[in-house]
Amino acid sequence: MKFLEITSVTKSYNGQQVLHDFSLEVEHGERIVVLGPSGCGKTTVLRLLAGFMAPDSGNISIEGQLVATYGKTIKGPEARSFGMVFQDLALWPHLSVKGNLEFGLKVRKIAKEKREQLISDMLALVQMEEYIHAKPGELSGGQQQRVALARALVLHPEALLMDEPLSSLDFELSLQLRKQILRLQAQFSFTLVYVTHNLEEAFDLASRVVVMKQGRIDQVGTPEEISGRFQQIYRRIGVPQMEECGRDAAEPKKGVKGV
């Protein structure tokens, strides 16, 4: 049985169709990276998976159970065992690091002693235990990313959905956090669905890459397969190095440093 099944899904905003007949199957523990330019529909795919919206047509199933279909959400976000890291992180600025992690645990009515242990263990894994009482505004960009990752994983979700979470970081810090995401995914075996426009992120993180173009799946393959196809395209149009193109096309924003 597939973990996720998206079948012939369409979605429109204000009369403009952003997803066209989108179908994708995902196995347990896969690392899926949805790659494409801004406006291609990749964030919409994440929001549909998370349960924040329903498809206009088509079906979404989790472990064989229908969770959304034809404008109807059958199981909302609270009923799906998914963690999510947003592009802007969405940390609560008035809560401490501990408070950010504890919020979801309290909603699940997990006992205080168990909450304390889960928070301590997760902050240790992301090397943020010494900042447990800090507020997000007191942390660097990289530290905030680690807290957002810890908050998403503290409930041990079956899947982690990530929407361009590293786009505001410099290259070295992005590389460090990619390694940490891979380490945590190997440790907890969650399914990863990661959205990006950055070739290097996609090829570093994915076991399978889904390339989107104008609301449709353009191609699907392993990082090696997709990289090879891109190299052929670049050679055909006279660009010598795919690595240079990937980096230029997704040049990280400057000025957010620190871990």
Number of domains making up the chain: 1
Contact 42, 36 (CB under 8 A): yes
- Of all residues in the chain, the percent with pLDDT exceeding 70 is 90
CA distances, 51 to each of 122, 170, 191, 238 (Å): 25, 31, 16, 43
In a domain, 83, yes or no: no
DSSP, collapsed to helix, strand or coil, labels residue 35 as strand
DSSP, collapsed to helix, strand or coil, labels residue 186 as helix
The reported pLDDT for the residue numbered 230 is 79
In a domain, 127, yes or no: yes
Residue 33 identity (one-letter amino acid):
V
Is the pLDDT at 244 greater than 80? The verdict is: no
Question: pLDDT tens across 97-140, in order?
Answer: 999 999 999 989 999 999 999 999 999 999 999 999 999 999 99
In a domain, 161, yes or no: no
* 61 or 170, which is more confident: 61
Is the pLDDT at 258 greater than 60? The verdict is: no
DSSP, collapsed to helix, strand or coil, labels residue 8 as strand
The reported pLDDT for the residue numbered 1 is 81
The reported pLDDT for the residue numbered 144 is 94
Note down the domain range covering 134: 92-156
Is the pLDDT at 151 greater than 80? The verdict is: yes
Q: For Cα atoms 181, 89, 222, give the angle at the middle one, nearest 5 degrees.
A: 35
In a domain, 185, yes or no: no
In a domain, 178, yes or no: no
Tokens (6 digits) for 82: 């998914």
In a domain, 141, yes or no: yes
Is the pLDDT at 176 greater than 60? The verdict is: yes
Is the pLDDT at 42 greater than 90? The verdict is: yes
The rounded mean pLDDT for the chain is: 89
Q: How far apart are CA 251 and CA 231, in angstroms?
A: 19
Contact 209, 193 (CB under 8 A): no
In a domain, 26, yes or no: no
* 90 or 11, which is more confident: 11
DSSP, collapsed to helix, strand or coil, labels residue 66 as strand
Question: pLDDT tens across 177-212, in order?
Answer: 999 999 999 999 999 999 999 999 999 999 999 999
Is the pLDDT at 237 greater than 70? The verdict is: no
In a domain, 140, yes or no: yes
